[in-house]
Amino acid sequence: MLGHNDWLRVAKEDFLAAKGLIKIDLYSASVYHSQQSAEKTLKAYLVFKKHPLVKTHDLIQLLEICMSFDAEFRNKFDAVDFLNPFASKFRYPTEFNLPEIKDAELAAKHAESIMRFVLKKIAEPETGQTDIFVTSEKR
């Protein structure tokens, strides 16, 4: 079974993909990867808490489960509410307007805030968790 660090690694990859896709004007793909980053980050927290894996893309559902462990997760409701539709909304061109740069930038900002929040929650000294935002050149 994958541990929470595995989930965080993949969440970071999605986050970095989202940021990179903004730079080349691929906003639909960027918001999708921001949502995926947030989803995997919340699942990392649940794995850390030894909660059974929930097979859903619904960030609000995942947040509610996280809140059962720590009420402070409520502070991330606006972020997950913004990101939640991006799991499927822009995967196919339908009646929705395509996202613009401001949407992609805000989605990435929300994804990062969720990652930093979860990292803070699991970064107790006894866990040995490190900051996944530190790159090799910063070490």
Burial label, 23 (beta-carbon count in 10 A; 0-12, 13-18, 19+): exposed
Q: Which residues does 23 contact at the CB level (< 8 Å), separation at least 6? A: none
CATH number at residue 58: 1.20.120.330
Residue where the block lists tokens 């990392």: 44
Residue 134 belongs to a domain: no
> What's the confidence (pLDDT) of residue 133?
57
> What's the confidence (pLDDT) of residue 34?
98
Residues spanned by the domain of 94: 4-122
- Does the pLDDT of residue 128 top 50, yes or no? no
Total of domains in the chain: 1
> What's the confidence (pLDDT) of residue 136?
46
Question: Mind listing the pLDDT tens digit for each residue in 43-95?
Answer: 999 999 999 988 999 999 999 999 999 999 999 999 999 999 998 766 566 65
Q: What is the pTM of this model?
A: 0.85
> What's the confidence (pLDDT) of residue 2?
81
Residue 104 belongs to a domain: yes
Residue 13 belongs to a domain: yes
Cα–Cα distance measured from residue 56 to residue 39, given in angstroms and rounded to the nearest whole number: 9
Closest CA to 53 of 36, 64, 40, 37: 40
- Does the pLDDT of residue 130 top 60, yes or no? no
- Does the pLDDT of residue 122 top 70, yes or no? yes
